[in-house]
Amino acid sequence: MPNTTATRSAARSSKKPRHRAPAPKSAPKPKPEPEAVVQAPVRRKLVSPVTAPLTFRPPRPLETDASGELTPEERARVEAKAAKRRHEDELWAAYHQSGAADDRNRLWVHYQSLVRYIAERQKTKLPECVDVMDLLSAGNLGLQDAIQKFDPSKGVRFETYCVPRIRGAMLDSIRACDWVPRLIRNKHHLYARTIRELGSELGREPVDEEIAARLDMDLDKLNKLRRELDVKAQISLDGGTSDNSDERDLLRLEMLEDREEDEPTRELQREEIREIALRGLHPNERAVVEQYYFNGRSMKQIGDLLDLSESRICQIHAQVIEVLRKKFRSYQNSVCF
């Protein structure tokens, strides 16, 4: 019998060695895309309507007829403008030549219309308590300073030079009369602008956490900021009597309560309530109601006055209260508002 062990070993050696097929190369993993960078919303600096620069209309094109010549109205307008420029040049030449106060005053009178225009424009953007005459007074000081410091050799028209100075003088006078510090005003503008921006971005009213995150502060600092901004408004007592006052001034005056004076309507209401309450009551019940509610006496004092015990007065008071509750309920249902 052949050796089975040797036969098996010879069979193994005669077989060709097996080579494993190389594993298929896996496709390279795609590189992770860089995370999208979330850009913070660009904060644009909003220009305050009070300090916004004056915007002048561009020059109107000249009106011509079919032949290309100026119309009579347009020719008259051009001639009037040229005459005004010649008059201004004459005034400035006389002032720079003599430096007299009379020539300076002529210039001051000539530019009063410009001061009036700036004052009325600023008045539309300021609270109602600011009077346009105060703006005119401050603007005239700025005009006088601009006339003295104007240098025509710079090649700039006087209107371009004096408008910022006149408007600045008006704003300086307003800030000088403001009883709220400028720092608080700036914080209030920043707080209001932040709420407007968040409201436009979110489409709803922002919550405190969102406002604090935009202002880069915590809730405690936000509450502290609100307490700083909680300033009281001033109301002019003469606002309702001036010629330019409106209904809002009168409504504000009606809201002011004078605690030292007795209001006539209040006494009439008390008398009406007393009459309704005491109508149809027993004399003891009437005395309890009148002494307790209208004279301010205690139950013990009312008992001594009526020669009754304090517990009896309490019982009468409870009975009267139940009667009055039904009476006033029926009276309320019978009144039409």
> Is the C-alpha dihedral spanning 285, 291, 292, 294 positive or negative?
positive
Nearest partner of 173 among 132, 229, 113, 206, judged by Cα: 132
| Residues ≥6 apart with Cβ < 8 Å to 166 | 114, 115, 118, 139, 142, 143, 146
What confidence score (pLDDT) does residue 291 get? 86
Same domain, 219 and 286: no
Residue 196, domain extent: 180-232
DSSP letter at 201 equals: H
- Give residue for tokens 């105060």: 134
Chain centre distance of CA 86 = 46
Same domain, 159 and 79: yes
pTM of the entire predicted model: 0.47
Terminal alpha carbon distance of the chain: 129
CATH classification at residue 119 = 1.10.1740.10
What confidence score (pLDDT) does residue 228 get? 83
- Give residue for tokens 């304090």: 310
The total number of residues shown for the chain amounts to 337
What confidence score (pLDDT) does residue 77 get? 81
In the chain (337 residues long), the average pLDDT of successive 10-residue segments reads 51 52 55 52 52 58 66 79 85 86 89 92 84 91 90 84 91 83 84 90 88 90 86 55 50 59 74 80 86 86 88 89 81 55
The long-range contacts involving 68-76, CB below 8 angstroms and separated by at least 24 positions, are none
DSSP letter at 295 equals: S
Q: Are 166 and 131 in contact (CB under 8 A)?
A: no
What confidence score (pLDDT) does residue 38 get? 47
Q: How far apart are CA 188 and CA 162, in angstroms?
A: 30
Query: Tokens for 65?
Result: 């007829």
Q: How far apart are CA 250 and CA 198, in angstroms?
A: 36
Amino acid sitting at position 255: M
CATH classification at residue 210 = 1.20.140.160
Same domain, 173 and 210: no
CATH classification at residue 291 = 1.10.10.10
Same domain, 194 and 211: yes
* Domains held by the chain: number: 3
Same domain, 126 and 171: yes
Same domain, 274 and 330: yes
Q: Would residue 298 count as lying in a domain?
A: yes
